[in-house]
Structure 1
């Protein structure tokens, strides 16, 4: 029994040691890659995503999100939205949902980013799905006349216009316009 316990303890120590070494290697690789390839190279994006995964396992969620966002920004700048790796967006969204709750402001941002990615890929139904999720949270979190809600209505109107569903587009445009006109009339415009 004592030998089994010692072996298990040694195994745990070995796993932790490997984990620490891998983490340190990833950090060094990132620095070397940035120096050799530049901070906007796609391989740096992949490495940043891997660092995000490591930090997520370490339960350092804010750092993980930071690396996922770096990875995503590099991919967006280099590849554009049409070739984006949407999995990175889902990673960020998953961390935020688990750590911060379903109505946190970062959830709105993540849903919007997914909406943008799908919109630019031409997957309008998926884009609508995420823009509507974002809007639902905004409607629960903000006043009915908040400018962010008008922006969401306008965005949905644009998507439906692209889908040639003009009646639905008009419905959303009118909702956005009403909020904006009410804000202008009251001279009480609030920006995010």
Structure 2
């Protein structure tokens, strides 16, 4: 209770201490312990301590494997959390390893987890871009795009975000016309669902103008 209260107030370090006390009181390996470990991991991310976050996400993962198994979809969120923490540490190969583990699990249940698979391809694309593997990044974004187009559980926003990610990679490759094309497609989607003063709408319009200037 106090852990959640202090978390909601934004006092993350104090919240961590309360959740750790809760763990000391209740050491039974159950759902509550899993949730507490995971929350502590999330809180360490919020205070920019990914190393400690990984420590608690790993505790979460160990318990999840005990309760379920090594390839159960319940592990996916935790695997992605670990990957994101490694990304924050700029340990991109480790981040890629955990995102790929999560993707392998979800691909065993493709019809149920289509939108989540698309999200994972986006995550992997982002990591591949950081590693400088631009073509591999684009391949994953293309996978995500195709899934989003035919998945009822995906939204137009998901498509727009994927197109924005693709535009960044094309800009990295100095393929500015392709970057502009992706941005314009994303902007068209945003125009249908966002107000003109929405932050995402403003951002993409500014990016389009920036690329247009570069092309002159």
- TM-score, normalised by the number of residues in structure 2: 0.60
CA contact (8 A) 1:153 1:175 kept: yes
1:140 is aligned to 2:140:
no
1:91 to 48, 52, 59: 59
- TM-score, normalised by the number of residues in structure 1: 0.67
Alignment length (residue pairs)? 152
1:74 match: 43
Greater relative contact order (Cα < 8 A, sep 6+): 1
Cα separation, partners in 2 of 1:131 and 1:81, compared to 1, 3 Å: farther
1:154 match: 122
2:211 match: none
1:64 match: 33
CA contact (8 A) 1:111 1:133 kept: yes
How far did 1:81 drift? 5.2
Q: Distance in 2 between matches of 1:85 and 1:73?
A: 7
Cα deviation code 1:70-114 (max 9, x no counterpart): 32233222x125454311000011101101222333300000000
How far did 1:170 drift? 1.8
Cα separation, partners in 2 of 1:41 and 1:180, compared to 1, 3 Å: closer
Unaligned segments of structure 2, at least 5 residues:
156-216
Q: Distance in 1 between matches of 2:114 and 2:12?
A: 39
Cα deviation code 1:40-88 (max 9, x no counterpart): 34244144235336534x23x11101221332233222x1254543110
Q: Distance in 2 between matches of 1:131 and 1:50?
A: 31
Cα separation, partners in 2 of 1:171 and 1:191, compared to 1, 3 Å: closer
1:45 is aligned to 2:26:
no
Cα separation, partners in 2 of 1:145 and 1:39, compared to 1, 3 Å: closer
1:111 is aligned to 2:79:
yes
CA contact (8 A) 2:2 2:15 kept: no
